[in-house]
Each structure stands twice: as structure tokens, then as C-alpha cells.
Structure 1
């Protein structure tokens, strides 16, 4: 929608990782170097961990894009809580191996035969396991056992594990000592610094064909504060910022504009009318990101829930009053019936006496 307005050939902040737009921060360069080093060794495990949205999958895709398919057959799996047998079955599936029976012995036989056939063609297999923190200990141990497949003293399968920080705790389990001895390199991805955040945003905009100076320098500290330096969160915010700029016909963004979008994402109603505590545009250069983060986040459903609660209360009170009135009417009717019966009985007695 906003691409043509800003002269962009594509959306620069789409959530789907784009290997062609890989931003190599210092930490990402290190992680990619570990992967490439492990690949050159042809053995052991490489482990890359990090918080959600820090770019682990992007790094994996970057590595896969540069591999020579005539030398390395690489496949990537995204795991859930797979038991060892299901993991072996998935490995057979991604390498397109045919099995006659669905059991562990058949899976292992098919994998072994395939790896040996690759070795005879002077090729080897690479397995990237994404979201590896979901694997139980037994399944990670199964990966270690697969690394024992060898031919002429050379490993036939190499595995890279990418996962969230919980994977570190799994690997440090006392039962994982043998696996830890097979790790030849590991790296942890953390959030981008303010400087890297600015460089990342400017790089993505330029890669999409847009102008580098699309945002005032004072905007980047606010963006970093709101996103915590997580690339995926930066993408979410910046995509909304560009959409907001298109709708408001903004060519260069100021902190005031970014603040408006942050308020919208935070659930606050962003009107075009001035807000009492709004930072003036003239003083926007001095806005500190911490001040934005400390603003209370309004609940857009609070008023609705309050009104609904009031209606329910009123309805309940109304029903109670109706029930009380009904009880009073029934009591009055019962009293009237009793009086009528008493009169009838007295009349019968009088008639008998007469």
C-alpha cells in the first residue's frame, strides 16, 4: 500500500525472513561465522540460541542460500515436541527417503543407506533443526547417535541446532554430557543496540529502494526502546510507521509521528486532536524513549466492559425486584384464599347450627 508513495520496490519490514536483505550486525556476523566454521569442520554440533525474533532463522536461511548443492545436501526441520521415533520419521521425510515399514529400525536403516550413498558421490548431509528447544532430551540424544554414522572415519551427517534460550538449559542437563562434548561452537543472539537498530532500519529501507534519511535521528532511540532491539518487533513497528506515514502523507518522520504509532500499537486511541500530555513537535527532538515507555497503556475494552458490567448489574437488580414483587403478590393471593376459606367454613358452621 505504502510502497509506491515512498518509492519502495518491496516492503522493507515484512516479517518473512529475506536472505537477500540480511543485516549483519556484530552478533549476527559472529553467529554466521560459527555456522560456517562448523560447516567447514564437517563434524560435531553447532548451537545458536537467542530470544524470539532475534534472527536465528534468518541466519540459517542465509547459510542455506550460500551452500553448494553439489557438495552439501541441506535440509531444515522445525520441531515440536517430537519423540525419537517421530524425529527419525521427519528426517526421512525431509530427505525424501522411502521406507517399507514405519518403525525405528527401518528409519535408521534408510538414513544410514542414504548417507553412505551421498558419501560415495563425495557429498554429505546437513540437518538444521529449528526451534530445537522443543525437543525432549531423548530426541536430542537420538541426534547425537545419528552423528555416529561414519564412513572411512568421516561423519556422514552434521546437525546445527537453533533454538530459544530454553535450549541452553536443556543442553546443560546432567544427562547431556556426551552431547555437550560434540558441540564444537555455540553462539547466543541478543537484542540490537541503539546504533545497530538505526543501521538495521536504514539498511532495510535502502535495500527496498527508499531514501536513507526517512526518519529523524531522534526517532531511533524511541524505536529501540519500544522494540527492545528485537528485529521482529522493529519490523512490526516500522511497517506500521510507514503505513501511518502514507495515510497522513508524511515524507519525513519525526519523533512525534513515531510516538503516535507507538500509542496506537499500545492500545491507546490516537486521535488527530492534540493531547494534553502530547510532546510538542518543536520539542520532539528532546523526547526520551524512556518517557514513552513509562506512559500507561490504556485498555480499549475497559469502558465497554464497565458499561456491560453496569448493564448486567442493572439487569440483575431488576430481576431481583421483579422476584420480590412476585413473592409479595403470591403472598397476598395466599392470604386472600385463606380468608375466603375461613369465610366459607364459618358459613357452613352457621348453616348447620341453624
Structure 2
């Protein structure tokens, strides 16, 4: 929607991992170098950890995208990792397009080994990317280790990438995972972007879609985006997407500190509203302002509900005005 207004060729801050937008910060460049080394070894596990939204999936997709002879790589991905040892084998088989329903464990392993061997004979490498690895039970990790042990003609048949949140590093230190640790050929932990990198990251993504300094971002805006996001790329993306949408609706060609404060406050309000809509718990009710100290619990409850209704009405009016602006601007674009 805002792409046409700002004459951009696409959405610069989409949340879907895309190597096209890869930004080589100091931590991401170093991580990519480590992963390329691990990939060149052609065996074992490659481990990438980091907080939620730090760019683990984008990093691995960028690694695959940079490979010479990509046609020689057969890659599959697992996202659902809360699986037992049999379920993980079925999911691996399904990811590579093999029969998996109702198969016994021995049959699944044999089918996978035959498939990996056939690809190796064709001169191809098989890779498995396992996301959310911090959720993997011990027996499932052990099953993956056994798959990584498969060899044909002196070559490892399957290389596995484990992408996990920060706690996965602690999980790997468990005494019963010593054999897994010995199979790790490369490992890297992604850190957050600093303030300068946050600005460069935003400008980089905008430049990839033809940004010509419209809208312009002030130095204060960049700093406030960094403060709000703590340098986490995913939060930067979602925040900047909202800023561009706001700029479009309000016909702004400059994003300054006041706009960032307004938008980030809205995001915080939405997040708080989501928390408030959770299960009702029995808590001690505080006395609202405007009521006498001897007000009954029923009066307090009615007063609270009335305030909540007023808040909802305000939000409804705000959302209604927001939608009216979108419709009006869309109609203007159609007339043009």
C-alpha cells in the first residue's frame, strides 16, 4: 500500500526471511564465514543460535543462496520440533518427499539411507535445516545424530543445521549430549545489532527497493527505533513497516522522533491489550480513582467495566478513522 506512495519497488520490511535483504552486520558476516567453513567440511552438525528475531533463518537461506552448484544440493526444513524419535524420522522422510505414514522405525531409517545414498551417487549433497531446535527432546537429538552418522563411500550422507534460541546452547552442554557436541563442525551465536548498525540495516533494506530518501528518517528517529527494538532485526522490521504505513496515511515525507514515539506507543498499547485479554485470574481489586473509599465490590467492578468500555470505544473510533483514511487514499490512487 505505502510502496506506491513512496515509489518503492516492494515491501522493504517484510518478516519472511529473504536472502535478497541480507544485511552483513559484523555478527552476521562472521556467522556466515563460520557456516561456510562448516559447510565445506560436508559433515556433522552446524549450529546457529540467537534470540528470537535475530536473523537465524535468513542467515541460513543466504548461505544456501550463495552456494556454487546449488543444483547439487537437496535441502529440506523442519519447523515443528516438539516430536519424539519416531515422529522426527517421519517428518524428515516427509520433508524429503518419502513415504512415511504408518512406517516402522527400521523402515523409515532404511528408506532415508537409500534416498541419501542415491543422491550421493548422483553427486548431490543432502542437507536438513531444523528450526526451533531448543524444543528438541534428547531422544530426538540423538535420532538426528544417528542420521548424521550415515556414510557412503567415505562421504557423510546428511549434514544437519540446527537453528535455536539462546537456551539451545545450554541444552547442548548436557552431559548426555557429548556425542552430539563432538559432531558439531561449526557453531555461532548471533548478537543484536548496535545503534549504528540498526541505522545501516534500515537504510540497506530501503535501498534494496529503490528508496530515494523519501521518506527521510531523522537521526532521532533512528535512535528511537534502536531503543525500542534493542537491535533485533525482526522488531526493527515490524516497527519500520508500521512507520511507513503511518507516513503513508498521514502523507508524511519525513519520519521524525515524534512519529516514532507515537507508533511505538501504539504497538505497546496493542501488546498490552493482548496481555489483558488472557484468562481472568482472581486478584485483589485496587480501589479506582473517583470512588469513595467505602465503595462496595460491585460498585468497583461496575466502575472498572465502564472504564474498559470507554477505552474500547476510543480504540474503535481510532480504528474506524484509520480505515476511513485507507479507503479514501485508495480511492484517490484509483482515480489517478
* 2:194 is aligned with 1:209: no
Structure 2 distance, partners of 1:243, 1:193, is: 25
> So what's the TM-score if we normalise by structure 2?
0.78
* Equivalent position to 1:220, from 216, 219, 222: 222
Change (3 A) 1:11 1:299: closer
**Residue 108 of structure 2 corresponds to which residue in structure 1?**
107
* 2:49 is aligned with 1:49: yes
Larger relative contact order (Cα-Cα within 8 Å, sequence gap ≥ 6) = 2
**Residue 321 of structure 2 corresponds to which residue in structure 1?**
none
* Cα RMSD after superposing both structures: 2.8
**Residue 246 of structure 2 corresponds to which residue in structure 1?**
244
Deviations 1:10-32 (Å, cap 9, x if unpaired)?
11111112221111111111222
Structure 1 distance, partners of 2:193, 2:15, is: 17
Alignment of 1:135-214 (within 5 A): 135-212=136-213, 214=216
Secondary structure (helix, strand or coil) at the match of 1:76 reads strand
Secondary structure (helix, strand or coil) at the match of 1:186 reads strand
Change (3 A) 1:139 1:316: closer
Deviations 1:46-91 (Å, cap 9, x if unpaired)?
1000000000011122123334343221111113211111111111
Secondary structure (helix, strand or coil) at the match of 1:175 reads helix
Change (3 A) 1:246 1:178: same
Alignment of 1:1-354 (within 5 A): 1-67=1-67, 68-98=69-99, 102-212=103-213, 214-267=216-269, 313-314=298-299
Change (3 A) 1:316 1:24: closer
Secondary structure (helix, strand or coil) at the match of 2:98 reads coil
Change (3 A) 1:100 1:113: farther
4+ residue segments displaced more than 6 Å: 297-302, 309-312
Structure 2 distance, partners of 1:312, 1:11, is: 51
Secondary structure (helix, strand or coil) at the match of 1:210 reads coil
Secondary structure (helix, strand or coil) at the match of 1:169 reads helix
Structure 2 distance, partners of 1:17, 1:226, is: 21
Structure 2: gaps of 5 or more residues: 278-286, 303-336
> So what's the TM-score if we normalise by structure 1?
0.75
Change (3 A) 1:31 1:98: same
> What is the CA-CA distance between 1:184 and the residue it aligns to?
1.4
Secondary structure (helix, strand or coil) at the match of 2:119 reads helix
Structure 1 distance, partners of 2:273, 2:161, is: 43
Structure 2 distance, partners of 1:236, 1:158, is: 33
Deviations 1:237-274 (Å, cap 9, x if unpaired)?
11111111112211112212212212222229xxxxxx
Structure 1 distance, partners of 2:218, 2:101, is: 63
Structure 1: gaps of 5 or more residues: 269-296, 318-354
